[in-house]
Structure 1
Amino acid sequence: MTSGRMWSVALSMLLSASPAFELSTLEKGEALPALLWERSPELQQARANVAAAEADFRKTTRLPNPDLDVGVNTLPVGPLNPPGLKEPLLNVPNVAMSLSVLLEVGKREPRQNAAAERAKQAALEAREALRQRLFDAYAVLADVAAAQVRVSILEGLANDAHRLTELQNARAKTGDTAELDVDRAQLEEENVGASLGDAREQLQQELRACAVLLAMPCTPFRDAAQANVWLDRRFESTERPVEERPDLEALESRARAARADELLAKNQWIPDFTVRAGYVHDRFIESGNQMNSVFVGFSVPLRIFDHGQDDAQAAAVAAKTADDVRARLLEVAANQRVRLTTEVDAVEARQTRLREKSVPLAQQVVDRLTAAVTRGSSSLQELLLSRRTLSELLLTAAEMDRRVFQLHLERARLSGVNVHVE
């Protein structure tokens, strides 16, 4: 079995064992964020990054652990001094114990600020990942809805084609029409049936894509009317500032974290004191040593060669890079929003014309020609041509609804808009 086949089988087993997500229960998509956050494999790393960044911040708020140093010194080796000392291993060595702790100067605050900004950055990046995944889910659901509407349209056309075939058969038996017209009607019925089969297969493909995205099986909308309601939904106002996008706010946090790192690196020239305090118990009192004593001291690193200059330079470059990337993304978003607004206006104008003029007119023509063919006052060929025109217009209108939804979705992606629809 190939690896691709094994993966397909494993995915099928996983989906079959999961509860189905019923699109018929979907209102405005309120359940999707929690569902994706819990089940989407792509978001699990984002959750782990948030937890790791928060743990790093908490660690910066704690003081350094002290060090305990214990030693046994002056172990006798060779001749004793003075000679003849009894039990030299007990009466010569001394035992020393000390505690030392690092006292940082000018470093804790910038380190904490950098960690706090990175925790905020991780949370914003996770929010943006969820936001993008939600938009992907909305797009897939729109594809499902559009496919379901196409199936409904073609089912209606297939029923009409079947009734027309029966009508022509009945008229042929009475000699009111030629057998050629019966054949034409049957061919039209077969053609519509083939298109209906393709549409149903497309619907199943979209449902499979939904299942992969949500990591659980998806069932269709209740009917075409509910699918149309979903396609007619619009996202909340896109007039909110683009700067409120989580990914752009995350870049701001990244820049602030880098500046805090730069300050931390620049403060490396300030020496950090390691303070020590200890106790010594000396058994070699025969030589006049003090039996019990304490000591204190400190050590200071000399920042002669490396005092953080390279780290400061790298942090400055990182901050500038984050600012530059944010500025470029803002520029791209502004240009794309203008383009999308123009495209939305043009497509919505075509959508309105199709809904309000073209489709109703084509339906009227089909109805009149159907009545005329029934009376025998019009040719079947004219009716078939008009029915094909109506079919194309209905399918184009369904695709236009999906396209308008997708354009609004893309415009929402570019803005600081939330993921809920209204």
Structure 2
Amino acid sequence: MARPFASIPNYGVGLSYTVPLGKRGPRQDRAVALERAARASLDAGTRERAIELARLLGTLATSTLRLVGVRGIVDSGTRAIAVAEDRLASSFGTPLDIDRLKIEVARAEQQVLSAESDRTYALAACASLVGMTCRPFRSDGEARSFLTAWLDQASRRATTAASLEERPDVRALDAYGKAATAEARLARAQAIPDPTVRLGYVHDRFLISGNQQNSLNLSVSLPLPFFDHGQAQARAAESKRSRFSQQRVKTLQAARAKLPALTQRLAAQRERQEALSTRIMPQALAVLSNVERAVEGRLLPLSDAIQARRAVGELLVEEADSFADAFDAALTLTAELPPTAPSTPATPATPATPATPATPAKHTTHTTNAAPTLK
């Protein structure tokens, strides 16, 4: 056959369009709500990672305080051993005093190793989280500034009214609930039949039977959803809406219930930390300095200096622990509060080699104006 396509009885082409009745609005609302939920979930995830990073930096700062303080005790103990050996050479002391001092120094050196281990772990965890090398704080003053900035900010925010609905996780739950509501509307709209409009053209070659050679037709078809009209999808969407709504309410109730207790905990830990840093530690260091001068002048036995040095070492560790507890309380409270406008936080932008640690006699409290916030 020379022309096979010429033997086809007719050719036809057509265009059809299904008109969605009552479905376009719910679909658009659902898409907008899901976009808002995704953005809020991203903000919540980013905030969690920021809090995790801040917690690691707090561990790094407290380990730096502990390390600097214990190193000062080691240096002071080493000098005390030299004084004790001079006294022994002049037949004024006993070998037992030197042995006791060496034991105290050895204990302090073990604490130095423990603090260095904690700092190394914090640096490794920080590098794993941010994907780059983290450096330690340059001094105990910089570490104190970082911790104090977080404590000051958390204390200020605890006294100001904040809308918990602005938390990203709460916003995400609200958006998911609205998406489920739009999904239920869309499912109920399945009961409305969507008409299908079709426009077609037919070219007929079988004219001997009396057919028209060219014809144009317009048709409308209407499905009748007697059995499945979206009832299962509507129930599923209502169940999701109820679940998101209840989860949002529980989240807000839990946050409102925890805030007073967290605020009280922060106040108590802050009072403990300030008492150790501003009153107890300076007094203890002054007593240690006076006792060491009295021992060097042979006015007191060496055992008094040993006991005073041990007390100061314990207080230094306790002070670092008080900073750690107060920082944990501040960070836990910050995580429960909604985010604020971003600002530049105090970060440990320090060289890899830390500065020479200060001795306990130079104990001071540093503050900073930088207020770290979580977006």
Please, what TM-score do these two structures have when normalized by structure 2?
Answer: 0.86
Q: Which residues of 2 match residues 205-224 of structure 1 at below 5 A? A: 205-224=121-140
Q: Which residue of structure 2 aligns with residue 161 of structure 1?
A: 77
Q: Which residues of 2 match residues 236-247 of structure 1 at below 5 A? A: 237-238=157-158, 239-247=161-169
Q: Which residue of structure 1 aligns with residue 361 of structure 2?
A: none
1:228 has 2:150 as partner: no
**Alpha-carbon shift at residue 356 of structure 1 (Å):** 2.5
Structure 2 Cα separation of the partners of residues 165 and 88 of structure 1: 113
Q: Which residue of structure 1 aligns with residue 64 of structure 2?
A: 148
Structure 2 Cα separation of the partners of residues 359 and 329 of structure 1: 41
Any idea what the Cα deviations from partners look like across 1:36-85, whole Å, max 9, x if unmatched?
xxxxxxxxxxxxxxxxxxxxxxxxxxxxxxxxxxxxxxxxxxxxxxxxxx
Counterpart selection for 1:349 from 268, 271, 276: 271
Structure 2 Cα separation of the partners of residues 240 and 97 of structure 1: 64
Any idea what the Cα deviations from partners look like across 1:200-224, whole Å, max 9, x if unmatched?
1221111111112212221101222
Structure 1 Cα separation of the partners of residues 274 and 65 of structure 2: 17
Do the aligned residues in 2 keep the contact of 1:168 with 1:177 (CA within 8 Å)? Answer: yes
Q: Which residue of structure 1 aligns with residue 360 of structure 2?
A: none
Structure 1 Cα separation of the partners of residues 41 and 101 of structure 2: 58
1:268 has 2:190 as partner: yes
Change (3 A) 1:87 1:389: closer
Q: Which residue of structure 1 aligns with residue 357 of structure 2?
A: none
Structure 2 Cα separation of the partners of residues 374 and 265 of structure 1: 89
Any idea what the Cα deviations from partners look like across 1:130-157, whole Å, max 9, x if unmatched?
0111011111100001111111111111
Structure 1 gap segments, 5+ residues each = 1-85
Structure 2 Cα separation of the partners of residues 260 and 88 of structure 1: 54
Q: Secondary structure at the residue paired with 1:377?
A: coil
Counterpart selection for 1:203 from 112, 119, 122: 119
Q: Secondary structure at the residue paired with 2:229?
A: coil
Structure 2 Cα separation of the partners of residues 415 and 321 of structure 1: 23
Q: Which residue of structure 1 aligns with residue 318 of structure 2?
A: 396
Do the aligned residues in 1 keep the contact of 2:193 with 2:223 (CA within 8 Å)? Answer: yes
Any idea what the Cα deviations from partners look like across 1:253-288, whole Å, max 9, x if unmatched?
111111111111111111111111111111111222
Letter in structure 1 aligned against 2:92: D
Structure 1 Cα separation of the partners of residues 334 and 87 of structure 2: 56
Change (3 A) 1:131 1:89: closer
Q: Which residues of 2 match residues 20-59 of structure 1 at below 5 A? A: none
Structure 2 Cα separation of the partners of residues 409 and 167 of structure 1: 45
**Alpha-carbon shift at residue 183 of structure 1 (Å):** 1.9
Structure 2 Cα separation of the partners of residues 323 and 241 of structure 1: 18
1:311 has 2:240 as partner: no
Counterpart selection for 1:333 from 255, 271, 274: 255
Change (3 A) 1:159 1:320: same
**Alpha-carbon shift at residue 357 of structure 1 (Å):** 2.2
Letter in structure 1 aligned against 2:222: V
Q: Secondary structure at the residue paired with 1:276?
A: strand
Any idea what the Cα deviations from partners look like across 1:86-132, whole Å, max 9, x if unmatched?
98862451011111112111101111101110110010000000011
Q: Which residue of structure 1 aligns with residue 305 of structure 2?
A: 383
Q: Which residue of structure 2 aligns with residue 413 of structure 1?
A: 335
Q: Which has the higher contact order (CA 8 A, sep 6+)?
A: 2
Letter in structure 1 aligned against 2:117: E
Structure 1 Cα separation of the partners of residues 327 and 5 of structure 2: 88
- Percent sequence identity over aligned pairs: 31
Letter in structure 2 aligned against 1:313: R
Q: Which residue of structure 2 aligns with residue 279 of structure 1?
A: 201
Q: Which residue of structure 1 aligns with residue 40 of structure 2?
A: 124
Letter in structure 2 aligned against 1:162: T
Do the aligned residues in 1 keep the contact of 2:294 with 2:300 (CA within 8 Å)? Answer: yes
Structure 2 Cα separation of the partners of residues 91 and 367 of structure 1: 115
Structure 2 gap segments, 5+ residues each = 346-370
Structure 1 Cα separation of the partners of residues 175 and 120 of structure 2: 43
Q: Which residue of structure 1 aligns with residue 87 of structure 2?
A: 171
Q: Secondary structure at the residue paired with 1:217?
A: coil
Do the aligned residues in 2 keep the contact of 1:165 with 1:189 (CA within 8 Å)? Answer: no
1:186 has 2:108 as partner: no
- Counting matched residue pairs gives 337
